[in-house]
Amino acid sequence: MDSSNLIDKTEIKSEIEDKINSYDLILKKLEILSKKVSSFLKSSCVKDGRVSSSLLEKVQYKSHGYAWFETYRISLRELLQWYKRLSSTNKNSPLDALVLAGGFSEYLMQIKNGIMMSQSEIIRPEDLGLTSEDFSFFNEENFSEVINYGLSEDVKNEIVKYLCQGNFPSLGLGDETLEMIQDQFKKFTDEEIIPEANEWHLADKLIPDEILSKMSDLGVFSIAIPEEYGGLGMGKVAMCVVTEELSRGFLAAGSLGTRAEIAGELIRLGGTEEQKQKYLPKIASGETLTTAVFTEPNTGSDLGSLSTRAVLNDEEYTINGNKTWITHGARSDLMTVLARTNSDEKGYKGLSMFLVEKPRGNCENPFPMDGMSGSEIEVLGYRGMKEYEIALDNIKVSKKNLLGEKEGMGFKQLMETFESARIQTAARAVGVAQSALDISLQYAKDRSQFGKPIVEFQRIAMKLALMVIETSIARQITLFSAREKDNDERCDIEAGMAKLLAARVAWSVADSGLQIHGGNGYALEYPISRVLCDARILNIFEGAAEIQAQIVAKGLLGRD
């Protein structure tokens, strides 16, 4: 796209600086609306001062809409905070200013007119007890000017011109170490992952061992593990930076760290000192690869209905049951297995977590262990680690491998890891969205139709502009939730919001990217087809979007 007509850089930044105060005031208006929606819903689902699950279920659509309303509000707040931080250190670029303006106006208009909870579900203000009068401030001169500026075609066109020059929005990490890590993993992804990713996907291969070894050398498996146990102890923001970059190359590459993080968090938070000393250093070094063995064929997200049994006999437990959707199940050395130790205790209270060692398998012989068998679940995308159904038949486990050596703590122990897992999943989604954007921008620049590159057609440019805007918004709410976690703040709601939005953004950006490719996007040889398949799973694993919205809504309504 011709970049000769770019608006003066100083003019763009000055234009946005003049609007910062209005953005702050708009956020205050949205906070008032948020309280009104909360009161409206509480009148239907709060009983005796507590949120009633049964009553909440009766207003599920509306309450999930509230979760989305609040996700948008917090996303706008964090987008503005991102720009303010950049501006305070004079690191804000004109493109950053344009993304702020476009993102703020676009999400505001969706809040006013209807938020897409999914491609077929729109939550409108009247569903949440709001009226047109509540949005009358949109018509006030100073606010309408700000909103219209961000919605203008000029802003979107300028965004795409900057993209075509090779510019992207600032990450806003604000830390030299994090920036160095991002550069390191960007280089690794560009050189080692992206050139091979489509072949791994098409051949349905495991990511090669030599790539795992290089990832281990870079510290992928040790980032969140404390230094005293051989890790780097760098926290969740660092994990997000690494995860996004690896997922930009291949979703499974970004997800390998999740396996280590889930197991590492379980052991760090719930394990005995002996268990920590035994397992954490090996997980951190990559010597021990882990897999989570929680889900069962008929339970899905209803973990309280698990039927896998673990029966104690002297010094050993015997585990029997069937599990499904076991990611990286064959090429793993340690399973974290959730099983019922007390059959008299229904629901979550009778569950316990076990650390089950196993010999590492491969594609030809996935489960070389007595009492363990299984089969691969063939999937559309998210390849590179493989999914399995497995059967556990009289698996013997020492009492010392009961996590924390306490029965009945399994669900509580697992809950303590959900924040981290959802933050990391949001980061994976941002990486997938960025991948779709990168691939589609390059294609739009290279592909010519009717005598010019297709990026010069308005519909293509508008798609690309919204793709970069939404990816930036998803990135900032994800980093916000990670900072909250690193600051030891409870962030289950924030993590849920990040996962909710980032997963939807990954899918919409990938879908738009395939549309930009036209018929070629449907061909397996083009990477965008793989990215679309990968993007689709993000709305399902680590808590489906509906479950996520339920958690966020219940948390919000119970917070005040």
One-letter amino acid at 6 equals L
List the pLDDT tens digit at each of the 560 positions of the chain: 544 444 566 778 788 888 899 999 999 999 999 999 999 999 999 888 888 889 999 999 999 999 999 999 999 999 999 999 999 999 999 999 999 999 999 999 999 999 999 989 999 999 999 999 999 999 998 899 999 999 999 999 999 999 999 999 999 998 999 999 999 999 999 999 999 999 999 999 999 999 999 999 999 999 989 999 999 999 899 999 999 999 999 999 999 988 888 899 999 999 999 999 999 999 999 999 999 999 998 776 677 788 899 999 999 999 999 999 999 999 999 999 999 998 887 778 899 999 999 999 988 899 999 999 999 999 999 999 999 999 999 999 999 999 999 999 999 999 888 888 899 999 999 999 999 999 999 999 999 999 999 999 999 999 999 999 999 999 999 999 999 999 988 888 999 999 999 999 999 999 999 999 999 999 999 999 999 999 999 999 888 899 899 999 999 998 86
Could you say which DSSP state residue 219 is in? T
Q: Residue 131 has which token pair?
A: 């009226």
Please give the model's pTM, rounded to 2 decimal places: 0.94
- pLDDT at residue 328, rounded to an integer: 93
- Fold (CATH) for 176-285: Butyryl-Coa Dehydrogenase, subunit A; domain 1 (1.10.540)
Residues marked as catalytic: 542
Question: In a 3-state reduction of DSSP, which class is residue 173?
Answer: coil
CA-based radius of gyration for the chain:
24
Query: Residue 35 is inside which H or E element, if any?
Result: helix 20-45
As annotated, the residues of the chain forming the CATH 2.40.110.10 domain(s) are 305-408
The boundaries of every CATH 1.20.140.10 domain in the chain are 1-168+426-560
CB atoms < 10 A from the CB of 44, how many?
16
| Cα end-to-end span (Å), the chain | 50
DSSP bridge partners of 118? 121
CATH among 2.40.110.10, 3.40.50.2000, 3.20.20.140, 2.60.40.10 for 305-408 = 2.40.110.10
Strands 387-398 and 372-377: antiparallel
Q: Where in the chain is the domain with CATH 1.10.540.10?
A: 176-285
- pLDDT recorded at residue 68: 97
Q: What angle do CA 307, 380, 389 make, to 5 degrees?
A: 25
Distance CA(293)–CA(322), nearest Å, equals 10
Pairing of β 334-340 and β 351-357: antiparallel
User: In the CATH hierarchy, which fold is given to the domain comprising 1-168+426-560?
Assistant: Butyryl-CoA Dehydrogenase, subunit A; domain 3 (1.20.140)
The string of DSSP codes covering 246-280 is HHHH-HHHHHHHHHHHHHHHHHHHHS-HHHHHHHH
- Looking at residue 560, its pLDDT comes to 61
Distance CA 66, CA 74 (A): 12
